[in-house]
């Protein structure tokens, strides 16, 4: 199961207004405002990059399944998001150390409380599209309107931007745009500064829902070079990227080409990687990490194996239960199903004890000083039977299966996996059958699975979610998003107290207090058990062919394997040495200090 199924995003608003592009209007009157970056701010290279980095070469990566779209505004999966944000930029970026906002397409911005939660952005005069056209405030406005258009299937992006609909955005001049929020919210600046800006002159007049694989005009460091159906996708570094000479981008984006090789099956991808079919392979299988990193290629460092621990946010994974449907709308049933999953045995026998067992949906909000109080759900068939009986499920003595009101308890498990997770499901099925529950697997390819999940056409499915540095619980846990298709509240979770806490945290600008609120939400959600939580690891486990230079820390402070695209580089001398080592059976030096 890919831990990175989705980049965690947010949902659709019930009533939306399509905002037409507006004419240029005079600048707003002066008012008390705070401009950023501060006058003493100095742009610096990332401390996680390397001064030894060189440009050139190619990095070939496993690309998982072929997405239904590369337009991340339409298809919210991590692969499409990665590719899309290599092509299209946002108004603001993030400082790699502090995670504070930093210039990107906008060179300056201000927050003006006296103007009613107003945000003004000035476009960098150097910003331009790949065809040489300047990036303007009109592009920003057009992109915002395209996202918020009710006809466009951009649901996960709409909620954070919906607050800017009541007072329409205003283009103040070619390089300046003003957004006004209807309500105070800590995420407002991040929402308006974080959506991708598209070229109005390229996409205006086209059916936005059909902009999937053709992106002739871009602004980011890479552009789409080609796609071989069901085989690969290649991105080409742009020599004329307008940001290439900025200090913040020094020694970054070094590869001339990034090639993604599509392999739906993770086991097949592993075999292809071992034979040199691609260069970098993140390990999400304990069996591979413990049992199969052996032999000459590994002993002689032709393939490098490294587990990296940094401060990356930790997501969660679990079996999502659709609470809109019976019997999953009964918390006793959900808890019973959680007590029937033997996670300790799975971890010890199938995963070599490599993982910690989830107790929380926000694991990185807890530490030794703030331990997680959630009790978790241990493997306890007796407790499960008790809960099922209390929920009205009884064994039919003639069939041996659980029934309620004459209906047998049968779980349909929706899977997008070709079989690598079957060993886990098999053990779970066996334990379910012991108490009288049947489990059937319904297999679909990625695209069909995504469509079913978007429309909540499932009973139970294995889902994994990434996490952000700043927790925003609204999209996944707010009741108002439980019935809106295409969002991340896939379980249909709804709880009045959680809704109250979500509203409270919106206007809380104290990060420590917001984290307290999220911990309270976490306790309530854990007690409601919308997922049968599984397991995770805090480290990033990587394998790569030893022909690349890597920075001292290998990954950035908050980064994952995706950092290789930005921070690593192709080392011609090392690549030649690898080739000779394979011919001569020699040992390669590691690309980092032990």
Cα dihedral across residues 472, 478, 480, 486: positive or negative: positive
The β-bridge partners of 570 are 548
Give the model's pLDDT for residue 64.
83
Residue 592 has pLDDT above 90, yes or no: no
Residue 100 has pLDDT above 80, yes or no: yes
Task: Locate 145 and state its tokens.
Answer: 């309107």
CB 27 within 8 A of CB 176: yes
Angle, in degrees to the nearest 10, between helices 511-528 and 496-506: 170
Give the model's pLDDT for residue 19.
28
Give the model's pLDDT for residue 16.
25
Report the distance separating Cα 514 and Cα 511, nearest Å: 5
- Segment 369-380, tens digit of pLDDT: 999 999 899 999
**21-30, 390-399, 441-450, 574-583: lowest mean pLDDT where?**
21-30
Give the model's pLDDT for residue 251.
97
Report the distance separating Cα 50 and Cα 567, nearest Å: 7
Task: Locate 343 and state its tokens.
Answer: 């996670």
Residues 6+ apart with CB under 8 A from 411: 337, 432, 437, 438, 439, 440, 459, 460
Q: How confident is the model at residue 143 (pLDDT cuts 50, 70, 90)?
A: very high
Estimate to the nearest angstrom the gap between the alpha carbon of 255 and the chain centroid.
23
Q: How confident is the model at residue 273 (pLDDT cuts 50, 70, 90)?
A: very high
Report the distance separating Cα 462 and Cα 236, nearest Å: 34
Report the distance separating Cα 302 and Cα 589, nearest Å: 9
Report the distance separating Cα 57 and Cα 572, nearest Å: 8
Q: Which of 104, 102, 107 has the alpha carbon at shortest distance from 124?
A: 107
CB 78 within 8 A of CB 4: yes
* Residue 495, phi then psi, degrees to nearest 5: -150, 130
Report the distance separating Cα 90 and Cα 192, nearest Å: 9
Residues 6+ apart with CB under 8 A from 499: 478, 479, 480
CB 75 within 8 A of CB 208: no
Strands (E), 105-204: 106-112, 118-123, 167-173, 176-180
Residue 138 has pLDDT above 50, yes or no: yes
Residue 28 has pLDDT above 60, yes or no: no
Give the model's pLDDT for residue 295.
95
Give the up-direction half-sphere exposure of residue 34: CA atoms within 13 A in the CB hemisphere: 6
- Segment 463-474, tens digit of pLDDT: 999 898 899 999
- Segment 50-62, tens digit of pLDDT: 999 999 999 999 9
Give the model's pLDDT for residue 255.
98
- Segment 331-368, tens digit of pLDDT: 999 999 999 999 999 999 999 999 999 999 999 999 99
The DSSP element (H or E) to which 414 belongs, if any, is strand 410-415
Superfamily of domain 316-536: Dipeptide-binding Protein; Domain 3 (3.10.105.10)
Residue 65 has pLDDT above 80, yes or no: yes
Estimate to the nearest angstrom the gap between the alpha carbon of 161 and the chain centroid.
19
Counting other chains too, the contacts that 36-40 makes at CB distance below 8 Å and 24 or more residues apart are: 36/101, 36/108, 36/109, 36/110, 36/111, 37/102, 37/103, 37/108
Strands 460-465 and 410-415, by their bridges, are: parallel
Report the distance separating Cα 564 and Cα 118, nearest Å: 37
Give me the chain's average pLDDT, please.
91
Report the distance separating Cα 133 and Cα 332, nearest Å: 59
Averaged over 11-23, what is the pLDDT?
A: 28
Cα dihedral across residues 551, 554, 559, 561: positive or negative: positive
Diameter of the chain measured on Cα atoms: 81
The DSSP element (H or E) to which 127 belongs, if any, is none
Unique residue bearing structure tokens 């990175």: 4
Q: What is the dihedral of CA 285, 290, 291, 293, to 10 degrees?
A: 90
What is the percent of the chain where pLDDT is above 90? 82
Burial track 433-470 (b if 16+ CB lie within 10 A, e otherwise) = eebbbebebeebebeebbebbbebebbbbbbbbbbeee
pTM of this prediction? 0.81
Report the distance separating Cα 191 and Cα 185, nearest Å: 10
Alpha-carbon separation of residue 546 from 268, 407, 582 (angstroms)? 21, 58, 11
Report the distance separating Cα 206 and Cα 224, nearest Å: 19
State the DSSP string of 67-116. Answer: PS-S-TTTS--HHHHHHHHHH---SEEE-TTT--EEESSEEEEEEEGGGT
The DSSP element (H or E) to which 280 belongs, if any, is strand 280-282
Counting other chains too, the contacts that 423-432 makes at CB distance below 8 Å and 24 or more residues apart are: 423/350, 424/346, 424/350, 427/342, 427/345, 427/346, 427/350, 428/340, 428/341, 428/342, 431/340, 431/341, 431/342, 431/379, 431/381, 432/337, 432/340
Cis ω on the peptide bond leading into residue 37 (within 30° of 0)?
Answer: yes
3-state secondary structure of 542: strand
Report the distance separating Cα 292 and Cα 312, nearest Å: 26
Phi-psi region of 68 (alpha: psi -120 to 50; beta: other; left: phi over 0): alpha
- Segment 484-513, tens digit of pLDDT: 888 899 999 999 999 999 999 998 989 899
Residue 418 has pLDDT above 90, yes or no: no
Give the model's pLDDT for residue 12.
26
Report the distance separating Cα 40 and Cα 93, nearest Å: 18
Write out the residue limits of the CATH 3.10.105.10 domain(s) in the chain. Answer: 316-536
3-state secondary structure of 171: strand
């Amino acid at each position: 199961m890919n831990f990175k199924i989705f980049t965690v995003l947010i949902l659709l608003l019930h009533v939306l207004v399509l905002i037409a592009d507006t004419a240029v209007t005079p600048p707003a009157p002066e008012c008390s405002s705070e401009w950023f970056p501060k006058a003493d701010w100095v742009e610096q290279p990332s401390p996680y990059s390397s001064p030894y980095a060189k440009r050139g070469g190619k990095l070939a990566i496993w690309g998982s399944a072929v997405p239904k779209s590369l337009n991340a505004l339409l298809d919210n999966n991590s692969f499409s998001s990665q590719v899309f944000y290599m092509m299209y930029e946002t108004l603001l970026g993030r400082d790699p150390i502090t995670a504070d906002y930093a210039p990107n397409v906008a060179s300056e911005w201000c927050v003006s409380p006296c103007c009613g939660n107003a945000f003004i952005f000035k476009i960098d005069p150097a910003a331009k599209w790949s065809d040489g056209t300047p990036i303007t405030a009109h592009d920003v406005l057009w992109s915002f309107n395209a996202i918020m258009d009710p006809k466009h299937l951009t649901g996960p992006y709409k909620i954070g931007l919906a607050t800017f609909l009541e007072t329409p955005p205003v283009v103040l001049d070619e390089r300046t745009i003003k957004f006004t929020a209807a309500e105070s919210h800590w995420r407002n600046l991040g929402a308006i500064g974080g959506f991708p800006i598209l070229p109005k002159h390229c996409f205006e007049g086209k059916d936005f829902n059909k902009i999937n694989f053709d992106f002739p005009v871009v602004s980011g460091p890479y552009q789409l070079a080609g796609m071989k159906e069901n085989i690969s996708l290649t991105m080409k570094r742009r020599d004329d990227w307008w940001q290439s000479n900025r200090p913040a981008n020094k020694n970054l984006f070094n590869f001339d080409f990034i090639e993604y090789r599509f392999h739906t099956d993770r086991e097949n991808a592993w075999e292809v990687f071992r034979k040199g079919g691609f260069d970098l392979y993140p390990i999400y299988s304990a069996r591979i990490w413990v049992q199969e990193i052996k032999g000459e290629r590994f002993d002689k460092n032709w393939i490098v194996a490294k587990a990296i621990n940094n401060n990356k946010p930790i997501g969660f994974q679990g079996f999502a239960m659709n609470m809109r449907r019976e019997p999953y709308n009964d918390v006793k049933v959900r808890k019973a199903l959680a007590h029937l999953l033997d996670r300790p045995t799975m971890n010890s026998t199938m995963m070599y004890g490599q993982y910690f067992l989830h107790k929380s949906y926000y694991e990185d909000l807890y530490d030794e000083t703030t331990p997680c109080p959630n009790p978790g759900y241990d493997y306890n068939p007796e407790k499960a039977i008790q809960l099922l009986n209390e929920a009205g499920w009884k064994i039919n003595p003639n069939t041996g299966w659980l029934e309620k009101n004459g209906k047998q308890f049968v779980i349909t498990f929706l899977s997008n996996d070709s079989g690598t997770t079957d060993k886990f499901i098999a053990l779970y099925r066996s334990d379910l059958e012991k108490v009288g529950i049947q489990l059937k697997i319904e297999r679909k390819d990625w695209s069909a699975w995504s469509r079913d999940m978007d429309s909540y056409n499932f009973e139970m499915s294995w889902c994994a979610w990434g996490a952000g540095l700043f927790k925003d619980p609204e999209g996944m846990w707010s009741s108002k998003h439980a019935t809106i298709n295409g969002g991340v509240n896939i379980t249909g979770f709804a709880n009045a107290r959680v809704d109250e806490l979500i509203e409270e945290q919106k206007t809380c600008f104290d990060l420590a207090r917001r984290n307290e609120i999220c911990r309270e939400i976490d306790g309530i959600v854990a007690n409601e058990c919308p997922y049968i939580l599984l397991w995770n690891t805090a480290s990033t486990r990587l394998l790569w062919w030893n022909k690349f230079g890597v920075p001292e820390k290998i990954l950035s402070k908050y980064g994952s394997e995706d950092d290789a695209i930005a921070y690593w580089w192709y080392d011609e001398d090392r690549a030649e040495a690898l080739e000779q080592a394979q011919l001569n059976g020699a040992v390669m030096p590691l690309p980092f200090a032990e």
